[in-house]
Amino acid sequence: MTWLVRIAMCDMMPATGSLPGLADAGVDAFLAQTRRETTPMVWFGLVLGAVVYVLSPVLTVYVPLPSFLLPRGLRDTHADRICTTHFYLLRQAIFLLKMYACMCWGQDPAVRKRLNVAPYPVDPGTFRTT
């Protein structure tokens, strides 16, 4: 289901004139790492959020198609409306997805330079064994 999570996350953070989008910010490596490392519950939450995202255009732009079949303009409208939907549980499911999208996007060196925050070196992921 990684492809579904990728579609939803990239739609939430497309490239603009001045900022790169998530698709250009190492999302594939990030999702592979997340899938490998995170807990089943967090991954389930991300997949659930992606399913909600992809299947909900009928609620937001009133088109009974999955989000990835929408034209670019409608996809943007859908992304904006589903992130601010009045249905609390849907909004929460989408918020988890958005938070992980932001975590991926925000560690990209080009993004950090553009927003004047120090770049992240590689996380060591180490701990004391003795």
Partner 1 sequence: MSHVAYQERGDVAVEADFVVVGTGAGGAAAAVTLARGGASVIMVEAGPWREPHDYAHSTYGAMRDMMDDWGSTITMGRALWPVVQARLVGGTTVINSAICVRTPEDIFLEWQRNHGVGDQAFMERMWRFQDQLEDDLCVAETAPESMGRSNELALRGDAAAGYDGHVIKRYAKGCLGSGQCLQGCRSMRKQSTNLNYVPEVLRRGGQLLSSAPAERIVFEGRRAVGVSGRFIHPQTRAKGARFVARARKGVVVAASVTHSPVLLRRSGLTHEAVGAGFRAHPGTGVFGVYDEPVDQNVGVTQGWASTRWREDGGLKLETLSIPMEMAISRLAGGGRAFMERVVGYRHLAMWVHALRARSVGTVRAGFGGKPIVRYGFDAYDMERFRGGMVRVAELHFAAGARAVIPGIHGLPYSLGPHELDILRQGPLDPRRYVAILSHLFGGCMMGRDERTSVCDARGKVHGRDALYVADASLMPDNIGVNPQHTIMSLAMIVAEGAMGVA
Chain positions 11 to 50 lying near partner 1, rule: CB under 8 A, are 11-16, 18-19, 21, 30, 34, 37-39, 41-42, 45
Nearest distance from C-beta of residue 41 to partner 1, angstroms: 6
The least distance separating partner 1 from the CB of residue 103, rounded to whole angstroms, comes to 5
Distance CA 53, CA 7 (A): 9
Compute how many other C-beta atoms are within 10 angstroms of the C-beta atom of residue 72.
9
Looking at 1-130, list the stretches that DSSP marks H as alpha helix, in order from N- to C-terminal side.
2-12, 27-37, 40-55, 57-60, 72-83, 88-106, 109-114
Residue pair 83/12 in contact (Cβ under 8 Å)? The answer is yes
Residues binding partner 1: number (CB under 8 A): 57
| Under rule CB under 8 A, residue 128 binds partner 1 | yes
Helix (H, G, I), strand (E, B) or coil at 40: helix
Residues near partner 1 (CB under 8 A)? 11-16, 18-19, 21, 30, 34, 37-39, 41-42, 45, 75-80, 82-84, 86, 88, 91-92, 94-95, 98-99, 101-107, 112, 115-118, 120-130
